[in-house]
Amino acid sequence: MDNPSTDLFYKLINRNRSKPRTNSTGIDIEGELEFNPTIPRKAFAKYYEDLSIPRESKFDNSYLELCKIRQRLVEEVLYNQQTNIEPYKEDDISKAIDNLNTGKSPDEYGLCAEHLKLTKETVTPTLTNIFNNILINRAVPTEFKSGILNPVLKNEEKSMSSIQL
């Protein structure tokens, strides 16, 4: 996509909703109708990737530099500040696991809330240790900083009909 935007994405979805439903599972990609389900998935993945990559012309680099300076200053203050942070207790982590929403998509490692809830007694000590190390070291593991964006289609047969990218 040359110029992705959230407005364009919602326009695409609304245009698809306004058309009468058919049983076609094809998608029109640049004038060519595709019926292979992996092609539309790749097209949506490419669209989301293009949407998530910032375009230099749209951003003010001086503002970005100012944000980086502010972040560095805040980090310096936090690292130099000697405060005693109260560590998490296993009971805190256990309660947090109980409050997780079920029925959601798994993460990039295939884990979902149901896994944590069903193995709560086993994983709680380890998770408590991990979160306390995050507090002590003031660093979040890289694995916690990524995720998956999946469009969830309610009815594949109806939702994939005549979508144009």
Q: Provide block-wise average pLDDT over 10 residues at a time, the chain (165 residues).
A: 64 63 62 70 75 66 86 82 83 95 87 93 95 87 80 60 48
Residue 13 belongs to what domain range? Answer: 6-56+151-164
What is residue 75's predicted lDDT score, i.e. its pLDDT? 82
Q: Does residue 39 belong to any structural domain of this protein?
A: yes
Q: Does residue 99 belong to any structural domain of this protein?
A: no
From the number of C-beta atoms within 10 Å of its C-beta (0-12, 13-18, 19+), residue 9 rates as middle
Q: Does residue 124 belong to any structural domain of this protein?
A: no
Specify the DSSP class assigned to residue 54: P
What is residue 125's predicted lDDT score, i.e. its pLDDT? 96
The pairs formed by 19-24 with CB atoms below 8 angstroms and a separation of 24 or more are 19/161, 19/162, 21/158, 21/161, 22/161, 22/162, 23/157, 23/161, 24/160, 24/161, 24/162
What is residue 113's predicted lDDT score, i.e. its pLDDT? 93
How long a stretch of residues is the chain?
165
Q: How many domains does the chain contain in total?
A: 1
pTM of the model: 0.47
Q: Does residue 41 belong to any structural domain of this protein?
A: yes
From the number of C-beta atoms within 10 Å of its C-beta (0-12, 13-18, 19+), residue 160 rates as buried
Q: Does residue 158 belong to any structural domain of this protein?
A: yes
What is residue 2's predicted lDDT score, i.e. its pLDDT? 57
What is residue 69's predicted lDDT score, i.e. its pLDDT? 92
What is residue 24's predicted lDDT score, i.e. its pLDDT? 55
